[in-house]
Amino acid sequence: MADPIALSLSEVHAWHGWIGERSSTPGEPRESDLAILSAGERARGRRFVRQADRVRFAVTHAAVRRLLARYLAVGPAEVRFGRTPCCQCGSPGHGPPRIDWPPTDVTCNLSGSGDRWLLAVTRGRRIGSDLEVPRDIDVGELASGCLTASEQQYLSGHREDGQLQVFYRCWTRKEAVLKACGVGLSSSLQALEVTPGLAGPVEVRHSCKAGPDLWVVQDLAAPAAWLGAIAQPAADAGRVRLREADDAWLA
């Protein structure tokens, strides 16, 4: 078994991984990855139409299991996942993910975009993560549907070549908070103010029946290839540490 990873109560580990050539066509998911996935995960992976998406799913979820196994001191295939009921409707079908076995206070949240993924791991607190690989989008059209009035005003004050960065800063912050609550994008993005003019960490107010009303959101010091954010309760925020999940960690 690989060496365990120590995680104190005051820490949040943000693992960034890159799938790279392992997602290239005509590749298939590796047997070593499929072997540690649950039956449900393998079934979900088979439902993807595109071959590259099936590989991404298998590689990402196998990596998550290998990392969590080192926190939990069990084999990767032994970890069992469930969901905490949604704080809005009580449904267990789309609440925040949780580790059902082994018994633990470790919590985690996964995000992915393109060939990159981000796994936030902490103890004893709700956690939300978002990672986005910027795409060429119509910022103006999307901003009107998901940014507050003050966020739109801040966005419009930037030159066109800088607006994409501002938009994704808003988007990743918002989605990280909503994922920490467990409601995802079903909640109105326009009602969530994330003050993009502040470098962060920033405090964000968002009511959650099963959690706090005040969250702290930290942007990740990521390279230009991607942007990310981590959200956690403001009253008990841990120190966020960005780590690279290379092959040495995932062996």
Residue 244 belongs to some domain of the structure:
no
pLDDT in tens, 109-156: 999 999 999 999 999 999 999 999 999 899 989 999 999 999 999 999
Range of the domain at 185: 11-233
Q: Which is more confidently placed, 222 or 173?
A: 173
pLDDT band at 221 (very low <50, low <70, confident <90, very high): confident
Residue 142 belongs to some domain of the structure:
yes
Question: What is d(CA 112, CA 177) in angstroms, rounded to the nearest whole number?
Answer: 16
* Residue 186 confidence (pLDDT): 57
Per the structure, the count of domains in the chain is 1
* Residue 25 confidence (pLDDT): 41
* Mean pLDDT of the 83-108 span: 85
Residue 247 belongs to some domain of the structure:
no
Residue 171 belongs to some domain of the structure:
yes
pLDDT band at 24 (very low <50, low <70, confident <90, very high): very low
User: pLDDT averaged over the chain?
Assistant: 91
Identify the three-state secondary structure at position 133.
coil
How many C-beta neighbours within 10 Å does residue 113 have? 17
**Both structure tokens of 179:** 């994922």
Question: What is d(CA 6, CA 203) in angstroms, rounded to the nearest whole number?
Answer: 28
Residue 173 belongs to some domain of the structure:
yes
Residue 14 contacts residue 220 (beta carbons within 8 Å)? yes
Cis peptide leading into residue 102 (ω within 30°) = yes
Query: Domain of 169: which CATH number?
Result: 3.90.470.20
Question: What is d(CA 251, CA 209) in angstroms, rounded to the nearest whole number?
Answer: 40
Residue 247: pLDDT above 90? Answer: no
Residue 130 belongs to some domain of the structure:
yes
pLDDT in tens, 36-64: 999 999 999 999 999 989 999 999 999 99
Residue 222: pLDDT above 50? Answer: yes
User: What is the number of residues in the chain?
Assistant: 251
Instruction: Give the rounded percent of residues in the chain with a pLDDT score beyond 90.
Output: 72
Question: What is d(CA 41, CA 39) in angstroms, rounded to the nearest whole number?
Answer: 5
